[in-house]
Structure 1
Amino acid sequence: MTISVPATSANLGPGFDSLGLAVDLRNEVEFHPSKFFSVSIKGEGENNPRLKGNNLFVSIFNDHYNRLTQKKQNFKFTFYNQIPMSRGLGSSSAVIVSAIASAHEAAGIRVSKRRILNHALFYESHPDNITPAVMGGFNAATVEKNKVFSQRKHLPTYLKAIVTIPNKPINTLKARTLLPKSYSKENAIYNLSHTALTVGAFFNEDWEMLKLAAQDRFHQKARMKVLPELFSVQKLAYESGALMSTLSGSGSTFFSMAYDEDSAMIANKLKQKFPDFIVKTLDFDNNGLVIER
């Protein structure tokens, strides 16, 4: 059995903790019952021995499998990881979602994506990453009474994602400590209006509106100061024709959207300007969580 979950980019400028989308960069896990428990990691994290002994996926999987079946069973897990860790591309959300889905499949219980999403909320209290990880596409989401409510938009193939991945991580918990403890009424209204405009632009496919709509006063500048090169990444992306360019999650990755015909040129300029960073051009993912039995 194979279960895969896409990378995600969240916040998308002003949509702090509420907006996110999925890109076609996936983590996969294969598993089957075994006499002995084992974990094998290939790709991202394969050289980190701590991931085998203190694996978040296995912990969440066991919690759910034991609850669902009231029994213990050893499994052999093989992970094929493409999502960079601690880079703002939703690697932890991918782990959470895949572990919950895997446990239900192993227990022989079929559940809806919405149910898996609501289970994921227990481990990740903000819906901006877990929602596109499960649903795919662009998502606007909120939490009410411990449930995720969201709206989804399919993303067209003529758009591409360009992700610029620095050689330094930004810790999500540390990044939150950089943010103000309160915001002015003016800045709150600014972000509310720009978030609304961003959602409207996505659903109406008014891509030219995004450069204006994606402006933010809540989190980006404070976090980008940790890695000042990110200001130059954003400036170059916009000057080269990006439709939007925003900090991905809490960073350090920078997410840009462009028309297909412009994406190669933008990516090449970013590669030339930032040779120590990884620049990837990706399709958007509209599938989210995928289970192959």
Structure 2
Amino acid sequence: MKIKIPATSANLGPGFDCLGLAIALYNEVCIKPSSYQSISVKGEGEENAKLKKNNIFVSIFYDIYQELAGKKDPFRFEFFNAIPFSRGLGSSSAVIVGAIASAYEMAGVKASRETILNKAILYETHPDNIAPAVFGGFTSSVVESGRVKTLKKVLGEKLKVVMVIPDRPMSTAHSRTLLPKSYPMKNVVYNLSRASLLTAAFFSENWEFLRVASKDCMHEHRRMKQMKELFEVREIALRSGALMSTLSGSGSSFFNLVKAEDAPKVAIALKNAFGMFRVEIFELDNNGFEIVKS
């Protein structure tokens, strides 16, 4: 079988740990029966020997597969990675969702996407990345009594993403240490109001609200100070016509949602200003992970 899992952008400004969407940039994994277990990696991480010795995808796959099949069969795992590591594009969520969905498929057990999502939350405690990796589109999620509740909005072809991917990573774990343990009430209300408006804007397709609704006062500024060029990335993107411009996850990538006709102009402006960074135009993904039987 082959599975492909989309990249994701989480938080989207004020939607800390609950809002996200899927991007048409994919990791693919081929899994084949074999007389012995083996792993090959191409693309992102192919020079990293640890990915063959201590592969998280394979570990999670066998956790689930043994639970379902009652045995540990040998397989060959072939990874084709396009999602950059530690850049705020959901590479870890792609691994988790891909491994769980693959294990169900290879064990011959049918599972709903809700089942896959609620297995994934055991490995990734925040649903902002895993929900769009499962469902695609824009997702708004909460965790209630250990279960994920998600609503999805399909995103149309009139929107595209201009992603700025810096040449160096940001650690999610380190980024979280920069955040305070508590916030003033006014900051909480600020983010609640904007996250609510942002969700409403996506579902109602009132794109003109996104610039105001995507503002955050809880996490972005503290994280962006680690890479101060990101403040200028946002300024240039918005000045060039982006509908919204937010730190992607915990960074270091920067997410810019644009109207399709404005994508080339925004991308060129960002490339001209940040020649050292990768600037790419992507479609949005509305399917989430997809399995292709070989």
Same-fold call, TM cutoff 0.5: yes
| Counterpart for residue 11 of structure 1 | 11
SS in 2 for 1:79: strand
SS in 1 for 2:212: helix
Measured in 2, the distance between the counterparts of 1:80 and 1:230 equals 29
Give structure 2 stretches of 5+ with no counterpart.
none
| Counterpart for residue 126 of structure 2 | 126
Measured in 2, the distance between the counterparts of 1:152 and 1:287 equals 11
Q: Does 1:233 align with 2:233?
A: yes
SS in 1 for 2:89: coil
| Counterpart for residue 150 of structure 1 | 150
The alpha-carbon deviation at position 11 of structure 1 amounts to: 0.1
Give structure 1 stretches of 5+ with no counterpart.
none
Measured in 1, the distance between the counterparts of 2:117 and 2:146 equals 11
Measured in 1, the distance between the counterparts of 2:113 and 2:29 equals 17
Q: Pairwise CA RMSD of aligned residues?
A: 0.5
The alpha-carbon deviation at position 70 of structure 1 amounts to: 1.1
Map 1:212-223 → 2, pairs under 5 A: 212-223=212-223
Measured in 2, the distance between the counterparts of 1:45 and 1:70 equals 31
The alpha-carbon deviation at position 180 of structure 1 amounts to: 1.2
| Counterpart for residue 69 of structure 1 | 69
| Counterpart for residue 85 of structure 1 | 85
SS in 1 for 2:160: strand
Map 1:101-180 → 2, pairs under 5 A: 101-180=101-180
The alpha-carbon deviation at position 67 of structure 1 amounts to: 1.1
The alpha-carbon deviation at position 187 of structure 1 amounts to: 0.5
| Counterpart for residue 44 of structure 2 | 44
Measured in 2, the distance between the counterparts of 1:282 and 1:246 equals 16
| Counterpart for residue 184 of structure 1 | 184
Measured in 1, the distance between the counterparts of 2:187 and 2:256 equals 24
Instruction: Look up the equivalent residue of 2:201 and give its one-letter code.
Output: A
Measured in 2, the distance between the counterparts of 1:103 and 1:284 equals 26
CA distances 1:195-249 after superposition (whole Å, capped 9, x unpaired): 0000010011011110000010110000000000000000000000000000000
- Runs (4 or more) in structure 1 with deviation over 4 Å come to none
| Counterpart for residue 250 of structure 1 | 250
| Counterpart for residue 264 of structure 2 | 264
The alpha-carbon deviation at position 6 of structure 1 amounts to: 0.2
CA distances 1:79-116 after superposition (whole Å, capped 9, x unpaired): 11110000000000000000001111111111001100
The alpha-carbon deviation at position 181 of structure 1 amounts to: 1.3
| Counterpart for residue 201 of structure 1 | 201
Measured in 1, the distance between the counterparts of 2:212 and 2:233 equals 17
SS in 2 for 1:251: coil
Measured in 2, the distance between the counterparts of 1:117 and 1:4 equals 16
Instruction: Look up the equivalent residue of 2:88 and give its one-letter code.
Output: G
Measured in 1, the distance between the counterparts of 2:195 and 2:238 equals 19
Percent identical pairs in the alignment equals 55
CA distances 1:159-212 after superposition (whole Å, capped 9, x unpaired): 000110001100001000001111000000000000000001001101111000
Measured in 2, the distance between the counterparts of 1:84 and 1:256 equals 17
Instruction: Look up the equivalent residue of 2:76 and give its one-letter code.
Output: K
Measured in 1, the distance between the counterparts of 2:91 and 2:111 equals 23
CA distances 1:248-288 after superposition (whole Å, capped 9, x unpaired): 00000000000111100100110110011001100000000
SS in 1 for 2:192: helix
Measured in 1, the distance between the counterparts of 2:82 and 2:72 equals 30
The alpha-carbon deviation at position 30 of structure 1 amounts to: 0.4
The alpha-carbon deviation at position 32 of structure 1 amounts to: 1.1
Measured in 2, the distance between the counterparts of 1:72 and 1:163 equals 40
Measured in 2, the distance between the counterparts of 1:156 and 1:72 equals 42
Measured in 2, the distance between the counterparts of 1:167 and 1:65 equals 37
